[in-house]
Structure 1
Amino acid sequence: MSSPPQWYLAMSDLCVLAASLLVQGKTPGWKLDVPPRPIWSALFQPRSDVDRACESAAVSDVPAPIRRPEFSRSVQAVAASSLSQTLPRPTTEAQRYVQRLAALQAGKLYTSLPTDSFQALWSRATRQPDRADWVKLLHYEAKAVADGQGPAKLSVLLGDSLAEQFPVEQLSRDRFWLNQGIAGDSTADILQRLDSFDKTRPDAIYITAGISDLRKGASNDDVLSNIQEMIRRLRVSHPGAQIYIHAILPTRLEAISVNRIRRLNYNISLLAEQEGARFVNLQPAFADPEGRLQAQLTTDGLHLNRRGYQVWQKTLWPLS
């Protein structure tokens, strides 16, 4: 008998997760939480152990198999035409996490779907995922993309919460998008998981990082050193990709001085030029006359609202 295709091996690891989602959905008064630790542990066990887990009585009645990732242009076109500013969307980290898990279990990439996809699941999400949960989710999304990309163009969003929360309807539809953002990640954190998407073949990588470093007390030298290491490693693992380093956005937080962000961005721009990356200066589009983040572009003085992401989109897409 011939061996199963590569996409099946990649996605079948999620059978335990799929069963967990479906079984939880049958419980009276059910609220979808992040899958318990044993679920994620099972995903990283040897194949024979995972197979035994998937064949157990607890999951034997799951009706729908894991499907092949739908990475076709037609799927993206349908998703794009369905998107609307009025569609419901996940608004919390827990909801966004569950939506992405559900999409992956269904063999889909969440960046190619309407914003209200799997609403019946994510609307009830209550439990906050931790960083380890996100790291593993991003790993599996990257693995699915690596197996299903084919000749299509691919862009990667890499960074912190600004990347993680980027609205899917504002992503260009001429390519696939892999979101590798995790809220709160510093440049050092990003370096630790940089190999997560090594097997993918992006033509562009957009990096937004640094503000979490400043909030956690890192020095400017730490930020610059980590960004330099990031660029150098990405150039080795993805020699065909253009790397874009976005300026650290201004904030409205008193604890982070305007002048420090300006000085750091100037040094990041020099570093990017030195390392063969492109620096994307976001300051003119986002700063008010005092150099702070414009109030109408932010939800809390740090994160962007929908209008803020629209401004970012206008600076981003001419580059692609």
Structure 2
Amino acid sequence: MRVLLALSLLINLIFISWNYKRVSEIASRKVKEYANPDWETVSFRLQRDALLKRLPNHNNQVVIIGNSHVQYFEWAEACGNPNVKNRGIGSDVIQGVINRLPDVISDSTRTLIIEVGINDLAKGKSPEYLNEKIVQLIRVAKSLQPSIKVVINSIFPTSNLVQGTKQPLSPLIIKTNEFYRKAAEQNDAVYVDVFSKLGDENGLNEKYHPGDFLHLNADGYEVWLKELMPYLKQ
């Protein structure tokens, strides 16, 4: 009897030990998943994209689309035009914007304002890749609405590095902006140089960012808004 009891206790201890180890492993993986910026970014982008797809597009006269720089500002209220639609998604990349164009452009869309590219460069994409994609973006937009005015913003300056490297983003941004300027010129689009208004090759002017050297504060948005106002009011 004692032998059976001891054996039973031993088996239970082994089971409890194995189960504890298994639960700990699962919990550890979950913590890593939730702490992983890429996982959080993908989840957020999918949720935001699903939300925007449910919004009507029949009155999208002016659409501003891009990444967090676009999303984090109240464009319609700031410019006084309720027909401006904010279609920014934090951390979005240029292919993501291209994929979303059919959902945001309608027969009523007169102006498409685009701000995208910094996340591609930060993830290791080349200026040449963005050059190819910005031309594709312009052409897709015009295929959806032939009379649309496409406005391409320069990528903002930053002193940040390419993720996982010591390579500065600034030279890549400057090269990409020159590609954007030429692409707009050659494809009947408009290029807006915000780069030189917000900073230089050393990054954003300290007056215009909240401390992360990447995003804009209220003063930074005021500068950008001034540059875009002629197109937001249309």
TM-score (norm 2): 0.73
Residue in structure 1 matching 2:221, options 309, 312, 315: 309
Correspondence list, 1:128-147, <5 A: 130-141=44-55, 143=56, 145-146=57-58
Corresponding residue SS for 2:79: coil
Question: Quick check: 2:76–2:82 contact (8 Å CA) kept in 1?
Answer: no
- Please report how far the alpha carbon of residue 179 of structure 1 lies from its aligned counterpart in structure 2 after TM superposition: 1.2
Matched with 1:190 is 97
2:209 is the counterpart of 1:298: yes
Change (3 A) 1:230 1:215: same
Give distance in 2, aligned partners of 1:291 and 1:276.
31
In 2, distance between residues paired with 1:194 and 1:169? 19
Q: CA deviation at 1:292?
A: 1.2
Question: 2:154 maps to which residue?
Answer: 247
Q: Structure 1 CA distance, aligned partners of 2:135 and 2:142?
A: 11
Three-state SS of the structure 1 residue aligned to 2:47 is: helix
More relative contact order in 1 or in 2 (CA 8 Å, sep 6+)? 2
| Alpha-carbon distance in 1 for matches of 2:121, 2:43 | 23
- Unmatched segments (≥5 aa) in structure 1: 1-127
- 1:315–1:236 Cα change, 3 Å: same
- When residues 267 and 168 of structure 1 are mapped into structure 2, their CA distance, relative to the original with a 3 A threshold, is closer
2:147 maps to 1:217: no
- Given the superposition, is the C-alpha separation of residues 214 and 224 from structure 1 closer, same or farther in structure 2, using an over 3 Å criterion? same
1:167-225 deviations in Å (ceiling 9; x for gaps): 34653224511111111111012122221123352111100000010111111121111
1:318 corresponds to: 230
> Counting helix residues as a fraction of each chain, which structure ranks higher?
2
Q: Distance in 2 between matches of 1:277 and 1:214?
A: 22
Q: 1:270 is matched with which residue: 177, 182, 202?
A: 182
- State whether structure 2 residue 156 is matched by structure 1 residue 229: no
Q: From the CA coordinates, give the structure whose radius of gyration is larger.
A: 2
Length, aligned pairs only:
185
Take 2:79 and 2:43, find their aligned partners in 1: how far apart are those partners? 28
For residues 3-14 of structure 1, the aligned pairs below 5 Å read: none
- Return the offset for 1:258: 2.1
Over aligned residue pairs, what C-alpha RMSD do you find? 2.0
Q: Deviations over 1:221-256 (max 9, x none)?
A: 211111111100101112222110000000121443
The secondary structure found in structure 2 opposite 1:259 is helix
Task: Determine the C-alpha separation between the residues in 2 that align with 1:204 and 1:194.
Answer: 12
Task: Give the unaligned 5+ runs of structure 2.
Answer: 1-41, 163-167
Between the aligned partners of 2:182 and 2:75, the Cα distance in structure 1 is: 31
What is the one-letter code of the residue matched to 1:236?
Answer: S
Distance (whole Å) between structure 1 residues aligned to residue 195 and residue 45 of structure 2: 29
Q: 1:266 to 1:170 in 2, by over 3 A?
A: farther
Alpha-carbon distance in structure 1 between the residues aligned to 2:125 and 2:189: 23
